[in-house]
Amino acid sequence: MHLLFIDESGTPPKPSNNNQSYFVIAGLVIPEDRWQGMNDKLSGLKVRSQYRGEVKWRFFAPNNHDPDNPMKDWDQDRRNNFRNEIFSIITDTKSCKIIACVSESPTAYGLGNVNSQDDLYFKTYKPVTERFQYLLQDITRASGRDTFGMIVADHRGKGDDDSMRHRHERLIRESGQYTSQYKNFIEGLFFAPSHLSVGIQLVDMVAGATWRAQAHNDRTWFDKLRTSFRSSPHGRIDGYGIARFPKAGWQGQILD
């Protein structure tokens, strides 16, 4: 069993926003037999570093001194050292893989079938599910035995969760000629509060680093994770570990 934890970075822009805005949904695939070890490593790191609370990408911003930030009194070097150790938990676990999708909102809204923030969210989510299915198929072929997976998403709110769950179920049910067949998926879409999920906390860091690289051309933290992205046999991640929506007409830089 493989668990795909997903989280987003940024907010899907409104159709009226004509700025070159990006939205990211990232996924971290953790095999079930690696989850406990990663949980223990993150818990141990928090204890050693005297960090109390959940890990969030936004807490690492230099000017974030919000009352709920466990690092509000830390200098930037201490924050960066802590962040580097968090990323090492992911990259040192070689069987963990990252998959993500980046959407370019003005290009997406120009398609004609993306008319709302909810549409943009789901269109960014769908390629992540497809690449998770491809990864499960690859593992099945390599191991010679069926490998299954399930998806755990960050809890956003009852209305948003219900809408996403219904769209996910329709996606799986209607898979076939024009979409991936999700033969390796188990059950539906699950939601977990981020403060109770080590997987959601880790993938929040992945989503933040990916968004930063795409939106601001700052690959500092993205490059630390690059070896963990799903890739082609030749090491390419564009189209394998990172999908773009829409792929045609893309105007910004391509992460690879």
DSSP string, 18-68: -S--EEEEEEEEEEHHHHHHHHHHHHHHHHHHT--S---GGGGSTT---TT
The CB density around residue 255, as the number of other CB atoms within 10 Å, is 20
Q: Give 196-246 pLDDT, tens digit per residue.
A: 899 999 999 999 999 999 999 999 999 999 999 999 999 999 999 999 999
3-state secondary structure of 158: helix
Phi, psi of 172 (to 5 degrees): -65, -40
Q: Compute the distance between CA of residue 129 and CA of residue 207 in angstroms, rounded to an integer.
A: 15
Please determine, for residue 178, whether its predicted confidence score (pLDDT) is greater than 60: no
| β-bridge mates for residue 245, sequence order | 103
* Angle of helix 117-143 versus helix 158-173 axis, rounded to 10: 50
146 confidence band (pLDDT: 50, 70, 90):
very high
DSSP 8-class letter at 13: P
17 confidence band (pLDDT: 50, 70, 90):
confident
**Given the structure tokens 């690092």, which residue do they identify?**
71
Give the type of residue at 175: S
